[in-house]
Amino acid sequence: MNTMTDLSGLQAESTSFWLEVGPLPPPAEHAKPYLFHDPRFFHLHSINAGRRGLFITVRDDKSNSIWGMGFAIEMSQGLWQSPGRGTFGGIQWFRPINPFVVDQCYAKLEESVLAEDGSSLTIILPPEDYSPWQETLTTGVLKSRGYILVCTDLNFSTPVNAEALQDRMKPDKKYGVGRAIRKGITTRDLLSAEHKSAYRVLSDYKQRRGLPMTMTEKAFNDMITLIPGSIIWTGAFLEDEMIGASVTLQISSDILSISYTGHSPEGDKMSVQQLLISSIYAEAQHRSCRLLDFGIATRLGVRNEGLITFKTRLGFRPGQRTTWSKRLGIW
């Protein structure tokens, strides 16, 4: 059962608020959340997955418009995390808001997790390039509430504007894109019937490198069904053979995030991934995005020097993505 809390005593720009926390999210209405804050994403990884979860919505008590939303999911007994799946969580704010309101929202979320016998709450904040003011605001609130910084990961992104990505690449990567084009490799959006082949290319690529494929083919299909337009599949072809593939997430109307890239053994030494990433950047330009995210190059703060070099030489710049945690019931 959802619970409501009146925050009318807390003012922000002459606006008072109330918040709702419960296992069922409300309709998103006119809010445009990030993909990982979307009520449909919550349904997919909490309700549909059989996990306990709590969704928080913050509203203006006069117009009933949504100012913020987010959720947390129980990952194992007593251990709650925001997000459950996805790369970041916390509460997303759709406009600047009083930090006292933010504090009370996290207080209510903690109280609700405790009521579900939760013992800890971990918050992974969005990369700082997404919204620097939100990152600064939330970081200050979490620190004041006793959260401990678990790790700082390096997250890579590049602004999207009229400049071509190749113009930001180091000479070797720029040459690689040209070489792939000269070899006759082309890229395009994939048809639904081609997704299975693309998934096989990606999973085989991961396996050759001893890495797990963190999303199953079914998980991709479920996400496409529940959140249409959230996934962009791109393929690289040499004549009619698919030799590379990528998965890009539509995080918001102005942010794309490269989730997976890979190539077949035939694509080795052909700069297939450079060409794919260049084409994804062009797609971001076409969609009038402001940012292309290429994900982290660290894991729990441990640097992957090869990945850092690869992303940097492709023209992406590092920023921080922080993870915070708190044992509940202890102040």
Is 307 part of a structural domain of the chain? no
Do 197 and 221 belong to one domain?
Answer: yes
In angstroms, the CA 7 to CA 219 distance is: 38
Band the pLDDT of 11: cuts 50, 70, 90: very low
Least confident of 13-17, 50-54, 107-111, 291-295: 13-17
Q: Are residues 254 and 129 part of one domain?
A: no
d(CA 205, CA 47): 32
Give yes or no: residues 169 and 40 share one domain: no
Range of the domain at 192: 161-289
DSSP line for 290-323: SEEEEEESEETTEE-HHHHHHHHHTT-EEEEEEE
Pick from 123, 115, 179: nearest CA to 146: 123
CA distance 98 to 11: 7
Residue 59 has pLDDT above 60, yes or no: yes
pLDDT in the model for residue 299: 87
47 pLDDT band, cuts 50/70/90, is confident
Instruction: Say if residue 239 is in the same domain as residue 268.
Output: yes
49-58, 59-68, 127-136: range with highest mean pLDDT: 127-136
- Between helix 217-226 and helix 195-208 the angle, nearest 10°, is 140
Residues 10, 146 share a domain = yes
86's enclosing H/E stretch is none
Q: Mind listing the pLDDT tens digit for each residue in 229-275?
A: 999 999 999 999 999 999 999 999 999 999 999 999 988 889 999 99
Answer whether residue 297 is part of any domain. no
- Say if residues 95 and 60 touch (Cβ distance below 8 Å): no
Neighbours of 144 (CB within 10 A): 12
pLDDT, tens digit (0-9, with 9 covering 90-100), for 142-153: 999 999 999 999
Q: Find the largest Cα–Cα distance for the chain.
A: 66
Whether 70 and 174 map to the same domain: the answer is no
Domain identity same for 79 and 191: no
Any idea of the CA torsion for 70, 231, 324, 17, to the nearest 10 degrees?
Answer: -20
Q: How far is CA 173 from the centre of its chain?
A: 26
pLDDT tens digits for 306-322? 999 999 999 999 999 99
SS3 192: helix
Is 194 found in the same domain as 138? Answer: no
Q: Is 23 helix (H, G, I), strand (E, B) or coil?
A: coil
- Say how far apart CA 183 and CA 118 lie, in whole Å: 56
Number of domains the chain is built from: 2
DSSP collapsed to 3 states, 154-167: EEEEEECCCCCHHH
| 327 in Cβ contact with 145 (< 8 Å) | no
Q: How far apart (Å, rounded) are the C-alpha atoms in residues 160 and 248?
A: 15
Q: Above 70 in pLDDT, residue 91? A: yes
Question: Which pLDDT score, from 0 to 100, does residue 2 have?
Answer: 53
Q: What is the pLDDT of residue 293?
A: 99
Which pLDDT band, with edges at 50, 70 and 90, does 77 fall under?
A: very high
How does pLDDT run across 18-39, given as a tens digit for each residue? 778 877 776 655 568 999 999 9
Q: Which residue has the tokens 């000269």?
A: 182
Its pTM stands at 0.91
Residues in the chain, total: 331
Name residues whose C-beta falls within 8 Å of residue 106's C-beta, 6 or more positions apart in sequence.
91, 141, 142, 145
DSSP one-letter string for 234-298: EEEEETTEEEEEEEEEEEETTEEEEEEEEE-GGGTTTTHHHHHHHHHHHHHHHTT-SEEEEEESE
**Nearest CA among 154, 156, 127 for reference residue 281:** 156
Instruction: Please report, for the chain, how many H helices and E strands are present, in that order.
Output: 8, 16
Asked if residue 12 has pLDDT above 60, the reply is no
Residues 140 and 18 occupy one common structural domain: yes
Look at residue 310 and tell me if it is in a domain: no
Of the candidates 282, 294, 280, 290, the residue with the CA atom closest to the CA atom of residue 254: 290
Q: Give the tens place of pLDDT for each residue, 268-300.
A: 889 999 999 999 999 999 999 999 999 999 988
Same domain, yes or no: 35 and 148 = yes
| 104, 141: one domain | yes
Is 311 contained in some domain?
no
Task: Give the model's pLDDT for residue 1.
Answer: 45
Contacts of 211 (CB under 8 A, 6+ apart): none
Give dist(CA 183, CA 257) in Å, integer: 27
The pLDDT tens digits for 170-224 are 999 999 999 999 999 999 999 999 999 999 999 999 999 998 898 999 999 999 9
Measured CA to CA, the distance from residue 281 to residue 275 in angstroms comes to 10
pLDDT in tens, 112-138: 999 999 999 999 999 999 999 999 999
Does residue 219 share a domain with residue 176? yes
Element (H, E) at 133: helix 132-144
pLDDT on residue 267: 86
Region 1-5: mean pLDDT is 53
User: At residue 86, does pLDDT exceed 90?
Assistant: no
CATH (domain of 214): 3.40.630.30
